[in-house]
Amino acid sequence: MRKNVFRSQGITALSLALILGLSSCSPKQKYQISNIEGNAITIDSIWDKQPNQEAVDILAPYKAGVDSVMNQVVGYSKETLNKYRPESPLSNLIADVLREAATDVIGHPADLALMNIGGIRNILPAGNITTGTVFEILPFENSLCVLQIKGKFVKELMKNIATVQGEGVSNIELVITKEGDVISAKVGDKEIDDEKIYSLATIDYLADGNDGMTALMQQESRECPAGATLRGLFMEYVKKQTAQGKEVYAKIEGRIQVK
């Protein structure tokens, strides 16, 4: 048997096996993997010190076009808005944007809104907000979904949120323990009614019960309007604030408290 040595960088063992198995070869030739070696390549600023000039020249016109869009200033942030659990200014703001966006779907803001902290990938720095800033905060193609869900499952959702020690929420007052238990939970300053149907604005990823939000799988119905990406909705909010001469601002309000 002919022995070939493959050293992979950034190729998984499974990928390499597929390459070997699917590569064109004579029907009489048979390959067997005897050893796989690999190492991780750290992608950091060191690669910017000695760029491949030919590649830089090819990409230059495309980079200029992208930069002209991403560097466009769309608003201004009064101060740096961070994201963290159990409650943060940025997660509050994004959840509020989702709740208000439900108006275009059901004619009024949703009873409550939910955004996962993990879906917020960067902070909002103080100062100018560019298109690129919004893309860095919300890089995924998550879309608005407005759910109809019974109160008893809203209570289960509060338990889901308590288990992970907080998420981005709107119009909710939740008190939890460090152990992940719910002490009290309200929607709109009122106790949750088990049989009432609540409207809940979130993203499609969470509407499917991901990130531990399994209670949302018990929804009565959902409506996810085409083209209503969370990033687009947030961008519209920032531009609207700018048009009204307002800065983007959010704060901690005690929506989720740990005791």
DSSP string, 158-193: HHHHHHTT--EEESEEEEE-TTS-EEEEEETTEEPP
Q: For 189-195, what is the mean pLDDT?
A: 97
> Distance between CA atoms of 8 and 157, rounded to whole angstroms?
44
Q: Looking at the domain assignment, is residue 206 inside a domain?
A: yes
- Work out the average pLDDT over 146-163: 98
- pTM for the predicted model, two decimal places: 0.81
The CATH code of the domain that includes 196 is 3.90.780.10
Q: Per the domain annotation, does 13 fall within a domain?
A: yes
130 and 218: one domain?
A: yes
Smallest CA-to-CA distance from 92 within 28, 169, 164 is with 169
Residue 25 domain-assigned (yes or no)? yes
Residues β-bridged to residue 7: 37
Give the chain's mean pLDDT: 91
Domain that holds residue 37: 7-55
CA distance 183 to 103: 31
Same domain membership, residue 216 and residue 149: yes
Task: Check whether residue 94 and residue 206 sit in a common domain.
Answer: yes
Answer yes or no: do 106 and 218 share one domain: yes
**Residue 203 in this model has a pLDDT that exceeds 90:** yes
Please tell me whether residues 245 and 147 are part of one structural domain: yes
Number of domains in the chain: 2
Which two tokens mark 98? Answer: 């989702």
User: Predicted confidence band at 17 (pLDDT cuts at 50, 70, 90)?
Assistant: low
User: Picking from 13-27, 41-55, 136-150, which range would have the lowest pLDDT averaged per residue?
Assistant: 13-27
Specify the pairing of strand 172-176 against strand 256-258: parallel
Element (DSSP H or E) covering residue 76 = strand 73-77
Q: Are residues 29 and 114 in the same domain?
A: no
Q: Please report the pLDDT score of residue 50 as a whole number.
A: 83
Statement to judge: residues 36 and 132 lie in one domain: no
Segment 2-24 mean pLDDT: 52
pLDDT band for position 8 (50/70/90)?
Answer: very low
